[in-house]
Structure formats: structure tokens, C-alpha cells
Amino acid sequence: MKTAQAGTLESMDCIVTVTETEKGRGISIAMEGASIVRFGEAMLKATKDTLKDLGVRDISVSIQDNGAGDLVLKARVEAAVRRFAGVRTP
Amino acid sequence: MRLRRTKLYLPGNNPNMLLRGHLFGPDGVILDLEDAVAMSEKDAARILVRDVLKRGDFGDCEVTVRINGMDTEYWKTDIETVVPCGIDGIRIPKVEDPKDIALMDEALSQIESKARIPVGRTLIFCLLETALGVWRAFDIARASKRVAAICPGGEDLRADLKTTRSENSEELIGPRRMIALAAHAAGVDALDTVYADITDDAGLRRETEWVKQLGFQGKSVIHPNQIPVVHDVFTPTAKEIEQAKKIVEAAAEAAARGLGAVQVDGRMVDKPVVKRAEYTLQRAGLKAGGEKA
Amino acid sequence: MTINAAGRNIPDTIPGYGEVRHFKGHDRRPPEGCRFGKRNRAAFNTRRDKTLPDLKAAISASGLKSGMTVSFHHHLRDGDYVVNAVIDACAEMGIRDLVIFPTALFKVHKHLTKHIQNGVIRQIMGSVNGPIGQLASEGGFSVPVVLRSHGGRPRAVTSGDVVIDVAFIAAPTADNYGNLTGAVGRSACGSLGYAHSDAHYAQCVVAVTDNLVNYPAPCIQIPQFFVDFVVPVDKIGDPAGIVSGTTRVTRDPMRLLIARNAAKLIEATPYFKDGISFQTGAGGISLAVAAYVREAMRERGIKGSFGLGGITEFFVDMMKEGLFERLLDVQSFDLAAVKSIAENPNHVEISADWYANPWNAGCAVNMLDTVVLGATEVDRDFNVNVNTEADGAMLHGIGGHQDTAAGAQLTIITTPLLRGRIPCAVDSVYTVSTPGEVVDAVVTEFGVAVNPRRQDLIDAAREAGDVPLVTMDELVEKAQELTGPMTPVETEDRIIGVVEYRDGTVIDVVKQLKKK
């Protein structure tokens, strides 16, 4: 399974892992971390918006959050997706 | 005059520091894409730094980015990414050749005009981290109007000098003197390298006092707790400000009356003393003017 | 329902709590009633030894029955063995439905969870902590937890709002006729300040000790005439959890920045002069504020009068250096404080009643110039939340927050503007623990917001020139800009926590969290 990752678990950062899914399966997002109870919706939106901007239609995203704001989350999603695009299936 | 007492390095892949570093009140921040970022993280750091720059929330800080060296594959992408965000300047590591600065000047102009930023806005801060770079300090400082400051290296320079760190950094006395001399000859700031031991406030103070005496305008810092110490050294004391005010006022009065000689507290004061007093007031933020912004 | 002076909509009666006296303002409830206390008793000289062989014997002798109220102090902090041992013994003896009334609870008391679930404990009054708070927040109790401050608790005891049936007092040293001290012994904890009202007012007092000494005990803090029984046990606690070692001032730059801002504000006010009195917590920011203030006192040659509250080595050193004349110690945090209270007559043990009870002839917080406190949240009206976390769980007690804030001339709340993504300055706090009317300034890394009702402080800070002044609205807006909008906490209607103000009125309630 093709996968790529970006970010750290330092304070105000997150680790975003993106994994290949079958074409047509769409976007699935899983999140964990303390801010999710109050910011889960915002985080979902930030992630979806970034994927849309990057033209990604089918992908599975997993976010381990340690207090990242939208700015950081979006930067990490973008970095993970760009790495993903550069990664060859092993 | 742009105060450059402290420039705080912010690791380019660390959101916490990138977003909050300016709160510690340095005169400038350096978003670092070079040594603070592992090779494997250059891409992610560049994206993060770009987005933090776009947000542009740095208080009153002068915002610079330390790009990767011009001998690497990264530097062009670095400037293409960060310069359109409208930064105050870039910091180039390991500068050795005035031609590189000319090349950079051109590259910056292209990016600026494409991004509709006033051409020439992005300043250049040169890190002279090799013997050759230090030797050519004056030419490098004059290689572009964008050059705002030259700075000696630390560990890299020691290695290039085939020496090691000593307790009082005696091995860097010569290079620091050369850089102060070259900077002021070229009309740019001389800014010192970092003090590595972040828990040794007394050592930091000693070194800062020494480089101030040599003619440096400021010092880079790697930890927020170093800022108050360096500011304390580079900020004129209330007594110094008081004395400087007296001198500048006396000089103005003498000029108004058409007198050549200036007297303060019954003593004659020379022109250089007046000049120095003006500089003191500039550093205290009480008088405009001074060396190149 | 009634909207109280803190703007909270509170029912007029709460199941399991009873009729609500609504909060009308920090000094609006006149005291009522008298102090009488425990029933009289006599112990003639035929019984010259109060020791009993074990806890069960003491529980029987005390007359403790199902449904009664038992109290404990928290001077052994996270090292305490006594609370768990007493409730275990009660459970084994078939006693149920207890109301436990501790001065505070710690992580170590997670052990009580099973007794809550199987009905040995019906209610907790006074304080919660992590796991028990989580249990309460999820609806684990049949009746609400009642939170009281360190001053509100002795007020409730001395006024008869709460009748303690049996007080179990962990005593690091006791003699066989019931003289107690925390100053010495293998489990020494220094002050026994929080235990005094319980000793004075409980219908029966059982001392539990692991250091039984010859009569009379040294450094007596709680005298024999309050104590009915003494139970020697192997160990009352783990010294490592009772007191901490040396507390170092933080090097964390963000905390130091906030602390420096707070210190600048203190130095700018007229309270910063000879005779200043001072209280801080033992947390990272608080201690750093103390360090900056100490520096400024040295530089300007200022001598303070007293340090109050929970005492640390830092305050002990300041007294030794002559920066304080005396320490008024309700709780000793570390080894140096324990040693000092045993040896130095200027290091004085005070009770919680003396420290913070609003219903006496004047408590110590009234003489306080400056206090530095923390918060989980503050809001536009300067209301402070220390009880609930961002997810709505009630995980912390009030401590002395309300009392010192109301008593001190200058009440400073220090908090980072954000913890991770969670904002600490909000439109309206989730729970009001301390009302904004007794808070003077909120200090963050983004600046210092002074309560507009303290124009004198704003003027003083402006005059000083180095205090980074902002408004509370600016802080809230900055936080919102950085974090984005939050989704609200989802709750049931059921009230699981009642937050009393120090005068016994209800300032806020906490609702049960919705199951996810």
C-alpha cells in the first residue's frame, strides 16, 4: 500500500499520514488528539479543503494531532500529499 | 535606523516556534530552512514556512529566512517560495564569492517583479562561514545594494580555520574584527553569530559585551531566554542616554549660534563624540537616521 | 431558574443538593448563624490512652454508620494512604452511602472509584481530581459533587452547612493522648492547616499516625482536647508523594515570558513597596513570577511583610534573605518548607479558617497585597474557570482561588493564551469558578489585560511604560483568530457538579457530558 507522512508530534503540530485507496472510494479521514472534541469539524474542513485544492479525490488520511491549528494542519496535509505523489509503490 | 540587536532563529519545521517566536520580542526573526531542518524535512519545512509567512503575524520583527546554501539544490526553490510572501530579507549561508551575491540580487529582482513586490525590497544578510568568505567580506558587502549586514560564522568557520572552540573563542577574534571593519567600511551592519550554550547567561553577556566593543550592532540568538541579555548589553543605559542628550542638545545649540566649539558640563566636546552621542540616541530609538536600514 | 450575578442560569433547587442560594456578588451575602460545633464530651483521667489497635476498631468506636459524612485533609497529597485505607475498612464493615468531605483529592485516590461504583461512597463534597472527576462528569454519582474553596469549606463547617460525623486526620506524629503534628515524623508534611476546622467541629475525631511518640508530642499543631481516638498504623503515606524535593524555576521561555509580564505589572503598581505581602502557587509560571519579583525586591531594596498560602522552598529562602518577615503557611509543599515550619518561629502554621474563611472576624487573605493564580479559561468579563477542562469534564477543585482573589488587593491570573489549539481566553467561560469582579488582571504571552474597573492599575501600568497592555477583548479575539471557532460541549440536562462561591451561594453548575 502506497503511503506518505509529514509532521511531528511536537506541541502545536500533527502527523498526517496519507494512504492510497481505490479509485472512486473518495476521501476518508481519521483523527485523534485532545483538540478534536472542540475543533474536529474545523479540522475536517481544513483537511478536505486542502485535498480539494491539491486535486486529490481518493485518499485515506489519518491525523495524529497535538494541538495544530488549521494553518499547520493544512501545511502538513499538503506536505504529505506532495510526498505521496512523489512516492513509488514499493 | 533598523535596530538589529537580536535575531532569533526559528527552526523551519517547528510550528510552535515559527508561530510564537516573535512574542519573545527580538528585533528580528530568522525562519531557518537550513541547518535547523533535516535533509528529509526540507520540503515540509518550506511549505510550513511559506504558510506562516503568508499569515505574516510577526509583530514589529524584521522577518528574514535563512535559505539553503547556494551550493545546494534547494536555494532556488527556497527563494521562489518565500520571497513572494513579502519578507524583509534572506540570510544566505556560507557566502564566499561576491559574484554569488550579484547572482542572488538578479534572481531576487526577477521574483520580486513577478510577484509585484517593489524590486530591491528583499534585503540580503550574508553569513561568512569560511576563511575565504571572511577574507572577501568587504567585496561581498558591496556586491549588492541589498546587503544589509554581514555576519561571521561559528562552528563552520572554526572548522575552516582548522581550529576548535576555546573558552573565550579566541580563534574568532581576527574574523570578528575583520567583519566589523569591512561592514563599517561598506556601510552595512555587523551582526554576530550565536552563543551556543543556552544556559550560560553570564558567558553570553561577556561575549556580547565584547562584540559590541568591537563594533557589532547585534547578535543572533538560538533561544528566547538569550534575548533579554543581549538587549540589555546593546541598549544604552539611562545614564548614557542622558549624557548623549546633553551632548546632542549642546551641539545643536552651538550650531544655531554659529559656534564651532561645543561645551558640555564645562568641557569641550569633539565632533566624533557628538556623532557617537547621536548614535546612542538612535540605538535608544530616540533619534532617526544612522547607518543603512 | 434564576440568572445569578455571574450571568449563569441556575435552577432554584438541584436534586441531591437542595435549595440553591444564588450568587449575588462577591460580598453580597451577609453572614448568618453562630458557631457551636461538636457536642460536649468528657474523658476522665481513668482513660489516659486514646489508642485503638486498628482502623476498624476506630470506625466502630466512632459510631460511624451508613449515610454519614467523613472528612479528610490533603496534606499528604499524592502520597496519602489514609483516605483509601479508611474507605476500604468501611467497605469491609458493610458501611455504605458515605458522603466523603476531603479538603482535596489526588491521583492516588483513583482507588475510590470502585467504592463509588459499588455504593460505599454516595457523594463527594469539596474537591475532585482527574479520574474521579471524569467519573462524576460522565454521571457516575447519583448526587452532584459539591465544590468549595479552601475558605468556603471551613465556612460550611463552622456555620453548620456541613456536619462532619467523623474526621479522620492523618498525623505524621501523634502521642497516645491525641496531640498531633505534621512538622516531624517519617511522613512529615509540615502544616496541618486544612485539618483544623475538622478537628474543631467533627462529632468524632480519629487521628491516624505512623509515628506514635511519648506524651506530649513535639510542635503540637492540633491539641489533644479535639481528638477522640488515635490509631497507629504501619504507614500513613509515601514520603515521595507527600512533599517534593527542590523546586526549580522553569527555563521554559513561554512561561518565563508570561511570568515577566506579570512581574512587570506587579512592579508598576503601588503595592510594590516595603511591606508587600505575596502569594503564588507552586506551578511553573507562579514560581517564575516570584523569582522575578524577588529580583526586583533585591534591586530596589524592598522588604516584604509576609508570604501566604502554600509555602515552598522559594518562599523559605526569601524569608531567610530578609525579603519576608514571616510566612503564614496553610500547606507546606516541599522538604525545605517542612523543615522550616518545625524550626523557625517566623514560619507560622495557619488553619484554613484563619487563611480564607469569609465568615470570621478577618482571614489572612484580606491582608494580602498580591496573588498570582492560574486558570484553565478566562473570559471577557474576567470570570475565571479552574474547574472544567475544554471538553467540559470537571477535573479540578477550586483550591484557594476564590478566596485569595477576593482578598488580595491585586489579583493576577497568569495563563498562556492557548494550550495547544485550546484557547484560554474565551467569550464566556464554561464554568465560573471565580467571578470577574474580584480579578484585576489577566497576564498572557500576548500581553496584560487589566480589568477596566481598575483604572488605577491601568494608569500605573501606563506610567511604568514597560507593561504590554492589551484589552481582554483583544486577547479573546487574538485567541479566536489563532484557533478558529470551537464546537460547543455537548451535555445532558443533569447537573453533576455544584460550584459554591466561598460564601455558600451557588456561582455555577456543571452538567453531565453527553455519551459519545
> Per-domain residue ranges for chain C?
47-242, 253-488
- Asked whether A60 and A16 are in contact (CB, 8 A), the reply is no
From the CA of C438, how many Å to the nearest CA of chain B?
A: 28
C-alpha cell at B256: 544655531
Q: Which residues of B touch A69 (CB under 8 A)?
A: 15, 19
Rounded to an integer, the average pLDDT of C296-300 is 96
The interface pTM score, or ipTM, of the predicted complex is 0.95
pLDDT digits (tens, 9 = 90+) for A19-59: 999 999 999 999 999 899 999 999 999 999 999 999 999 99
Considering the domain delimited by C253-488, tell me its CATH architecture. Answer: 3-Layer(aba) Sandwich (3.40)
Residue type, B30: I
Element (DSSP H or E) covering residue B250: helix B238-256
Chains B and C form CB pairs within 8 A to the count of 18
All partners of chain C with 3 or more CB pairs under 8 angstroms: A, B
Q: Which CATH number fits domain A3-86: 3.90.1150.10, 3.40.50.720, 3.55.40.20, 3.30.230.10?
A: 3.30.230.10
Q: Is B199 on the interface with C (CB under 8 A)?
A: yes
Helices B75-82 and B42-55 pack at an angle, to 10 degrees, of 20
Position C43 pLDDT exceeds 90: no
Pairing of the two strands B267-269 and A3-7 = unpaired
Residue C353 vs residues C108, C283, C360: alpha-carbon distances, Å = 26, 24, 8
Per CATH, the homologous superfamily of domain B6-234 is Phosphoenolpyruvate-binding domains (3.20.20.60)
Residue C488 vs residues A37, B74, C390, C417, C418: alpha-carbon distances, Å = 9, 45, 10, 19, 17
**Per-residue model confidence (pLDDT) at position C358:** 98
Q: Which CATH number fits domain C47-242: 2.30.29.30, 3.40.1080.10, 3.40.50.2300, 1.25.40.10?
A: 3.40.1080.10
Provide the edge-to-edge strand list for the sheet that holds C180-181.
Answer: C180-181, C173-175, C212-213
Q: What is the C-alpha to C-alpha distance for residues B247 and A89, in angstroms, rounded to an integer?
A: 74
Q: How far apart are the first and last CA of chain B?
A: 5
- Taking an 8 Å cut-off on Cβ atoms, the answer to whether A38 and C391 are in contact is yes
Pairing of the two strands C278-280 and C229-232 = unpaired
Q: pTM for this one? A: 0.92
Q: What is the C-alpha to C-alpha distance for residues A34 and C47, in angstroms, rounded to an integer?
A: 59
C-alpha cell at C499: 460550584
Position C247 pLDDT exceeds 80: no
**Per-residue model confidence (pLDDT) at position B287:** 67
In degrees, to the nearest 5, what angle opens at C-alpha A71 toward C-alphas B88 and A52?
115
**Chain A residue whose CA is closest to C481:** A69
pLDDT digits (tens, 9 = 90+) for C427-464: 999 999 999 999 999 999 999 999 999 999 999 999 99
pLDDT digits (tens, 9 = 90+) for C346-392: 999 999 999 999 999 999 999 999 999 999 999 999 999 999 999 99
- Taking an 8 Å cut-off on Cβ atoms, the answer to whether A78 and B47 are in contact is yes
Total length of chain A: 90
Q: What is the C-alpha to C-alpha distance for residues A85 and B6, in angstroms, rounded to an integer?
A: 40
Residue B168 vs residues A26, B195, B201, C460: alpha-carbon distances, Å = 62, 11, 14, 43
Q: Is A4 on the interface with C (CB under 8 A)?
A: no
Instruction: Give the residue among C485, C481, C489 at the shortest CA–CA distance from C511.
Output: C489
- Domain limits, chain A: 3-86
**Per-residue model confidence (pLDDT) at position A15:** 98
From the CA of B237, how many Å to the nearest CA of chain C?
A: 15
pLDDT digits (tens, 9 = 90+) for B49-65: 999 999 999 999 999 99
pLDDT digits (tens, 9 = 90+) for B110-152: 999 999 999 999 999 999 999 999 999 999 999 999 999 999 9
**Chain B residue whose CA is closest to A81:** B44
Q: Which residues of B touch A83 (CB under 8 A)?
A: 43-44
Q: Is B56 on the interface with C (CB under 8 A)?
A: no
